[in-house]
Amino acid sequence: MRFNLLPGAKSTRLRRGLVVGAALALTSGTVVAVANQAMAASGCQVTYTTNDWPGGFTANVAITNLGDSLSSWSLEFDFPNSSQQITQAWNSTYTQSGQHVTLSNTAWNGSLGTNATTTPGFNGSWSGSNPAPTSFTLNGVACTGSTTDPTSDPTTDPTTDPTGDPNVDHVDNPYASGQGYINPEWKAKAEAESGGSRVSDNPTAVWIDRIAAIEGTDDSSSNGSMGVRDHLDEAVSQGAAYIQFVIYDLPGRDCAALASNGELGPEEIGRYQTEYIDPIAAIMADSAYADLQIINIIEIDSLPNLITNTGDRETATDACDVMLANGNYVAGVQYALNKLHAIGNVYNYVDAAHHGWIGWEDNFSAAAELFASTVQGTTAGFASVDGFITNTANYSALSEPYITVNAETKLSSWIDWNLYNDESTFATAFRSELVSLGFDSGLGMLIDTSRNGWGGSDRPTGASSASDVDTMVNESRIDRRIHKGNWCNQSGAGLGERPTASPASGIDAYVWVKPPGESDGSSELIPNDEGKGFDEMCDPAYEGNPRNQDNLSGALPNAPISGAWFSAQFQELMANAYPAL
């Protein structure tokens, strides 16, 4: 699983407007209509985003059906400007008469179940201005995001409850409620290692990284055999207060690397919704688990990739350009948030990369804007997210006590003009930025500390007195990687802080979302049926690329595919743990 991508400091600060800017201007509308069946209601929600350039634009539309299942659909709207013209469409057929537009399903995507989302898109031209449509209708029903009659008493509308079930106490910090779930499969692997019992009782997250993992798999190469319901049942049996899952199967997953590519193609948003998110939500909504705080970590790497790895940047990939154009990362995250937030005891934390990825000024602001616009496009808006997580499965140090980021140290090749140099300062600052954009002031942050301790004999004990800035920073830094862009099975890494609730202001918890001992990716190509490829950044002999400024990868040898047990890594993480075991 590839979770660290340094865009390259020199290139990351350039051309943000083309990649993000207008692409995130978002409009959404939601209306209500009485359905054709007694005691049922129809409704829909539409989000409309554009990526503009002089005279042209790409529009991505996410249509969520909140009413009864449809066998065909037709979305209608009016362009505000008479110059706006569609030139090409996908995931729909289109007609345009003057300013009036109709997008209709194709032969393969007409079925739209309750709470299902479809994502048509189109290219167009404009002159003067390119304002977004202000209202939409789906099969003649105005889209307002509600499934109730707008003339009814709003206090009876279940969609007004931001936490779903009004009988569920949605707490501020689910990690503060008690002991977390101990995954018995990870615990058994850890305890089979010499010294592993010292850490095996720590809570770790369960990765749902493919459709088969929902019910459980029989293979032993990766993430075990227990399914989502099995883990929830075990959590109830343990008397755990909370359980953590990673929602990780977007179409075109991990567009900037190969080690954690997924099973779904870039356009398979329908399968993501109906075969992946829907069954997960159905299981989590079972009343048998109502007393558990169910925490979901939402789609590692996806949204940050749209910031740094698209357009004309040196780090751009064709795969990420496809995902920006088709809108399925945004649509998929919105769908997951809508379905999971509707369950009152579920908590959603969205991945926010790490300081060595989006810590540069333009990346920092652009990422926050993207997260805000994406979450605003959900049914519950900002309320659908409980917090964000940084450093997931990554190695960035929690704190760098011997280095201050200032005008001098920014000149070093290690910091390279980044605003931040550790995860604590980054997470705190990013939280403030998100709150300034409209997120709740009680927003919580998580920091994954499963492999960022960097203890052992190489850990510095004080600041260097060297006069050369590169030498001074390199001798003073806790993070001992060759380069911050190195992310795969890093040599010399150690366990970081143990999972801890409320360790600092604004931080809900230090967590071990990536279970220690699970590989980031294979050192060489290993055929598998999990969609996981070989990424050269996991090869110890690889001499790098623009994302790590052509440095050696720093990876351990003989690694298995991502998610599989890697004994050598686990032993090294324990040996270099900080605080020490």
Please identify every residue annotated as catalytic: 301, 520
Distance CA 65, CA 279 (A): 17
- Give the type of residue at 240: A
The two beta strands, 141-142 and 206-208, are: unpaired
For residue 32, the tally of other CB atoms under 10 A from its CB is 25
- Taking the CA atoms of residue 355, residue 356, residue 358 and residue 362 in that order, the dihedral angle to the nearest 10 degrees is 110
- Taking the CA atoms of residue 222, residue 228, residue 232 and residue 237 in that order, the dihedral angle to the nearest 10 degrees is -50
Distance CA 169, CA 163 (A): 9
Per the structure block, which two tokens stand in for 303?
A: 């949204």
Q: What are the beta bridge partners of residue 86?
A: 124
Distance CA 533, CA 537 (A): 12
The backbone torsions φ and ψ at residue 33, rounded to the nearest 5 degrees and listed phi first, read -145, 155
Per the structure block, which two tokens stand in for 537?
A: 């950044």
Nearest residue to 238 via CA among 318, 194, 178, 164: 178
The two beta strands, 56-65 and 121-125, are: antiparallel
Distance CA 321, CA 62 (A): 18
Cite the beta strand spans of 5-84 per DSSP E: 25-34, 41-53, 56-65, 74-78
- Give the type of residue at 375: V
Per DSSP, the three-state class of 416 is coil
DSSP string, 553-576: --BPSS--STTSB-HHHHHHHHHT
Distance CA 459, CA 479 (A): 8
Per DSSP, the three-state class of 25 is strand
The two beta strands, 293-298 and 100-104, are: unpaired
For residue 193, the tally of other CB atoms under 10 A from its CB is 17
Per DSSP, the three-state class of 472 is helix
CB of 257 closer than 8 Å to CB of 319: no
CB of 213 closer than 8 Å to CB of 223: yes
For residue 125, the tally of other CB atoms under 10 A from its CB is 13
